[in-house]
Amino acid sequence: MNAYESVLQRSKEIALYGSAASVLSWDQETYMPAKAGAYRAEQLGQFAGLTHRLATSTEVGDWIKACEDSLPPCADEEESALRAANVREWRRDYDRATKLSSRLVEDLAKTTSLAREAWAKARLESDFSAFEPWLDKILGLVREQAEGWGYSTCAYDALLEGYEPGARAAELAPVFADLQKELTPLLPQLQKITETVDPVRLEGNYSIAEQQKLNALVAQAMGFDFEAGRIDTTTHPFCTEMGPKDCRLTTRYNEKDFTSSLFGVMHEAGHGLYTQGLPPEQFGTPMGTYLSLGIHESQSRLWENQVGRSLAFWQHWYPRVQKQFPNLAGLSLEEFWIIVNRVKATHIRVEADEATYNLHIILRFEMEQRLVSGELAVADLPKAWNTRFEELFQIPVPDDARGCLQDTHWALGLIGYFPTYTLGTLNAAQLFNAALKQVPGLESELQQANYTRLLDWLREKIHRHGRRYSPTELITQATGESTRATYFMDYLNAKYRI
């Protein structure tokens, strides 16, 4: 084998082990017995150490260098471009991976596996003190990661780079600050518009079995391939990829409100459609891997919000839902639409409306930076969280479960991840605006629950490219300009007719 073929084979070997670890992680979140946590942590630690050693061996570095010096010729121009992009991204991954020791990688995998169990218990009991030592340990490990990777301005940038290549805290901060300034005065207007219908009128007895039927039907209509995926139940909804034809969605159920699980499934199915849209023959290589979490989140937010919370969506689906759930008979389409688009401050991020959602992200962005820098001690997190939350939302935090314990991300070591949710929100609005302009008749098709051409457009503009471009380059190619908040604000104003 030549150097390119050698690194390609190693990359796919690593993907095989990584996908096996994904099965273990998915099982831990869905079906694993409670007492199996300690051994599962050992298993995941072993996989993490093994894949890290395979990825950072000196021979991999030699192969990549040989490819950079002289990439084997290829008659096909597209294949040549694909190979060059693979080599570029292999170099990026190799340089980051070799800056971390196998010991650190294994420690982080084991610690976060155990911490996830501790977090779930602490959240259930609303007791931050039970999770505090775990978060303190995780922060120590991610700081060690950041120091290994290196940074020019702050350690947080090194962590952010792993989720959104090229993003920097100093550049995001003013964007988020401006977004907060625009949203804050708008919220009272939106609240007044959407408080005209009492949300209690939506409450009913929605069996989980009936919710599951509806969720599967909507996900299938969106284009999710159930022969290459499935939906399961978990505490915190997520989507994970086990292989090129194995994508798992999860959601949680509220028997008083079917929309909780439905929007959760639409969100995760948006992630799943991106996963299923990546070139399967490239699985295990950069060109078969998602680009960034800001791009990934744009797909989930677009399907959940621009599609799923639109009046056009419910003009088609609501009559069917009313037949399935008879207690909705007395609630008109317009009243239902107002309820599912209600703007009201809430403690729980994943239950937040579109207008207040980004304030939840801004809060976490601020807390993460202070925790990583050491400015904020872990023991002081609940107080700092509660104070800042009340400033942003004008409501007090009643307990830790609805405060700093609500998200699983920190227990999983995913520090630097949260800003990508807002980037995804902005990208979603911008992409949807571009799709409506570039695809004639798309608006009419969406009103008829025909999502084929929207998915085709996303496949063409986003999914098929893998990691060929940077996030900024990809959004610019798809929409004509880099990410801007203007489209999201215009979308909100148009939606609520401000």
CATH number of the domain enclosing 365: 1.10.1370.30
- 325 and 428, same structural domain? yes
Instruction: Go through the chain and tell me how many residues it has.
Output: 498
Instruction: Note the pLDDT of residue 30.
Output: 94
Classify residue 159: in a domain, yes or no.
Answer: no
- 411 and 292, same structural domain? yes
Classify residue 155: in a domain, yes or no.
Answer: no
Classify residue 374: in a domain, yes or no.
Answer: yes
Instruction: Note the pLDDT of residue 261.
Output: 95
The ranges of the chain with pLDDT < 50 are none
Classify residue 334: in a domain, yes or no.
Answer: yes
Classify residue 436: in a domain, yes or no.
Answer: yes
Residue 426 sits in which domain range?
169-495
Instruction: Note the pLDDT of residue 72.
Output: 78
Q: Are 54 and 14 in contact (CB under 8 A)?
A: yes
Q: How much is the pTM?
A: 0.93
Q: Point out the domain boundary residue: 125, 154, 182.
A: 125
Q: Which two tokens stand for residue 272?
A: 């799943």
Instruction: Note the pLDDT of residue 73.
Output: 77
Label the pairing between strands 246-251 and 229-233: parallel
Instruction: Note the pLDDT of residue 140.
Output: 98
Instruction: Note the pLDDT of residue 486.
Output: 94
Phi-psi region of 246 (alpha: psi -120 to 50; beta: other; left: phi over 0): beta
- 474 and 376, same structural domain? yes
- 435 and 345, same structural domain? yes
* Spatial CA neighbour of 85 closest among 8, 163, 21: 8
Q: Are 51 and 14 in contact (CB under 8 A)?
A: yes
SS3 category, 243: strand
- 8 and 118, same structural domain? yes
Q: Please name every residue paired with 147 in a beta bridge, in sequence order, or none if there are none.
A: none
- 208 and 116, same structural domain? no
CA 107, 111, 112 angle in degrees (round to 5)?
120
- 275 and 375, same structural domain? yes
- 376 and 300, same structural domain? yes
* Spatial CA neighbour of 455 closest among 294, 275, 261: 275
In angstroms, the CA 440 to CA 404 distance is: 45
Q: Point out the domain boundary residue: 67, 94, 125.
A: 125
The CA–CA distances, whole Å, from 42 to 36, 37, 39, 226 equal 10, 9, 5, 32
- 203 and 55, same structural domain? no
Domain total of the chain = 2
Q: Point out the domain boundary residue: 70, 103, 125.
A: 125
Classify residue 72: in a domain, yes or no.
Answer: yes
In angstroms, the CA 220 to CA 212 distance is: 12
- 224 and 102, same structural domain? no
Instruction: Note the pLDDT of residue 373.
Output: 98
| Residues annotated as part of the active site | 268
Count CB atoms within 10 A of the CB of residue 236.
20
Q: Please name every residue paired with 247 in a beta bridge, in sequence order, or none if there are none.
A: 229, 241
* Spatial CA neighbour of 404 closest among 101, 208, 91, 130: 130
Q: What is the pLDDT of residues 55-64, one digit of tens each?
A: 999 999 999 9
Instruction: Note the pLDDT of residue 383.
Output: 98
Q: Which two tokens stand for residue 341?
A: 């688009």
- 190 and 87, same structural domain? no
- 404 and 273, same structural domain? yes
Which residue reads 């309820």 in tokens? 339
